[in-house]
């Protein structure tokens, strides 16, 4: 193997952190797109009002989806075992998400092709599905990861998935799915508070945002109660070798009730994640009550960061535990790519990720400003 200046353990930790950054980036950037789409039929009553809502994300939604592609690519390249199990086992759920996401570009492009109100209303509801369904399924997927996926590996590392699409929808996963929806609806309301002019559309968005903030807070707390007292959680059966080879058979695990809370006792600094998950919705609620629009978006962003980070830190070092054969669970130490692959990927990331961030910042700067009723009526380039 060629010389690599970073040891295997460090590279694995870096890529675990980068995966978290990409998932949080997707939730923040594309999350408000999904939230706005889910709010569309309810905050916009007339065609002009709905066009206002659509055009708050019309200039940026395509670029925001890059984070989703980056996260999927990172899993494929850095954690091939995780990619193989999750994208094959959750195939029907992934297909459902992709089918819903396909409705977004079609809805944006075709909605205004005809002036018929019925035509436009149907596309508005298609955009709603394109926002609500992915938000729900992503949350359900996270719930199933916390519970453990029903897969096992044989002696040749072949994967056998023994679950079904309906089996993904358990009481806990539905709770996490609803938390995902409320979290992203709150984020969508936060975005609308920055992008809409004062008026009835903004008033409705903030009303739904206030409900979503309270619901996010309650559901997050209930999720914590489930984790603490429900029959979920995994621990390593033996001490893992952070620099050992990537072989899931070398690092077994056992199921243990409440094990997802172990890291907070061992590393109290990790509590910052659930604190942010609680603080974010509270700040957003206060921002809505005081019409402090920047505070609303800041709170919704912190909620995304805190809730997603809570999941990752709770599970560390697990990435995808197995509910039917805990010994087959995939962890940070037993499921990564080789040391050389992780290092080459890191070099590429250090070159291109700053470019993506700079271009994104420039694009948002250029497109900064509120969407007004007058602009929607007069600008022929608007959706």
pLDDT, one tens digit per residue, over 225-267 is 999 888 788 988 878 888 888 888 877 778 787 889 999 999 9
Rounded CA gap, 34 and 39, in Å? 9
User: Would the pLDDT of 183 be above 70?
Assistant: yes
Q: What is the mean pLDDT of the chain?
A: 89
Judge contact between 320 and 149, C-beta under 8 A. yes
Q: What is the pLDDT of residues 355-371, one digit of tens each?
A: 888 988 888 888 888 88
Residue 278 binned pLDDT confidence (cut-offs 50, 70, 90): very high
Q: Specify the pairing of strand 318-320 against strand 151-153.
A: unpaired
CA distances from 342 to 5, 51, 92 (A): 12, 45, 30
- From the list 259, 244, 375, 275, the residue with the least C-alpha distance to 316 is 259
Task: Report residue 82 CA to chain centroid gap.
Answer: 17
pLDDT at 1 over 70: no
Instruction: Give Cα 322 distance to the centre of its chain.
Output: 21
- Quote the pLDDT of residue 2: 54
CA distances for 204 relative to 136, 217, 348, angstroms: 22, 20, 44
- Would you list the domain boundaries of the chain? 8-378
Tokens, residue 322: 């197995």
What is the distance of C-alpha 10 from the center of its chain? 25
pLDDT tens, residue by residue, 102-117: 998 898 888 888 888 8
Answer with the residue of higher pLDDT: 159 or 171: 171
Q: Summarize pLDDT for 147-162 with one digit per residue, the tens.
A: 999 988 888 888 888 8
Backbone φ/ψ region at 157: left (φ over 0), alpha (ψ -120 to 50), beta: left
pLDDT more than 70, % of the chain: 98
CA gap 61, 144 in Å, rounded: 28
- pLDDT computed for residue 380 by the predictor: 66
**283 has pLDDT over 60:** yes
pLDDT at 85 over 70: yes
Token output for 243: 């620099």
Dihedral over alpha carbons 208, 175, 225, 284 (to 10 degrees): -20
- Find, among 26, 313, 330, the residue nearest to 148 by Cα: 330
Joined tokens for residue 199? 């008026």
């Amino acid at each position: 193997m060629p010389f690599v200046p970073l040891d295997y353990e460090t590279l694995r930790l870096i890529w675990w952190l980068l995966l978290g950054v990409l998932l949080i980036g997707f939730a923040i950037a594309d999350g408000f797109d999904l939230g706005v789409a889910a709010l569309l039929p309810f905050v916009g009553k007339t065609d002009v009002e709905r066009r206002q809502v659509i055009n708050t994300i019309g200039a940026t939604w395509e670029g925001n989806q890059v984070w989703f592609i980056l996260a999927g690519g990172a899993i494929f390249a850095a954690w091939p075992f995780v990619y193989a199990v999750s994208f094959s086992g959750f195939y029907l759920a992934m297909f459902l998400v992709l089918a819903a996401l396909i409705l977004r570009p079609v809805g944006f492009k075709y909605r205004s092709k005809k002036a018929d109100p019925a035509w436009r209303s149907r596309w508005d509801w298609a955009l709603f599905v394109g926002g609500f369904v992915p938000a729900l399924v992503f949350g359900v997927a996270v719930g199933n990861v916390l519970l453990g996926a029903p897969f096992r590996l044989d002696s040749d590392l072949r994967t056998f998935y023994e679950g079904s699409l309906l089996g993904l929808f358990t009481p806990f996963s539905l709770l996490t799915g609803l938390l995902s929806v409320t979290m992203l609806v709150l984020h969508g309301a936060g975005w609308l508070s920055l992008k809409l002019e004062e008026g009835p559309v903004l008033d409705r968005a903030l009303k739904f945002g206030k409900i979503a903030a309270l619901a996010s807070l309650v559901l997050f707390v209930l999720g914590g109660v489930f984790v603490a007292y429900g029959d979920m959680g995994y621990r390593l059966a033996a001490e893992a070798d952070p620099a050992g080879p990537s072989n899931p058979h070398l690092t077994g695990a056992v199921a243990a009730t409440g094990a997802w809370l172990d890291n907070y006792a061992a590393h109290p600094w990790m509590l910052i994640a659930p604190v942010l998950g609680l603080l974010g919705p509270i700040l957003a609620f206060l921002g809505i009550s005081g019409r402090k629009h920047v505070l609303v978006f800041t709170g919704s962003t912190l909620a995304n960061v805190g809730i997603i980070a809570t999941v990752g830190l709770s599970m560390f070092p697990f990435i995808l535990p197995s509910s039917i054969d805990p010994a087959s669970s995939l962890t940070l130490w037993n499921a990564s790519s080789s040391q050389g692959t992780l290092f080459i990927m890191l070099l590429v990331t250090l070159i291109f990720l700053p470019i993506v961030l700079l271009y994104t910042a420039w694009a948002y700067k250029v497109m900064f400003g509120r969407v007004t009723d007058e602009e929607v009526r007069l600008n022929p380039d608007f959706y």
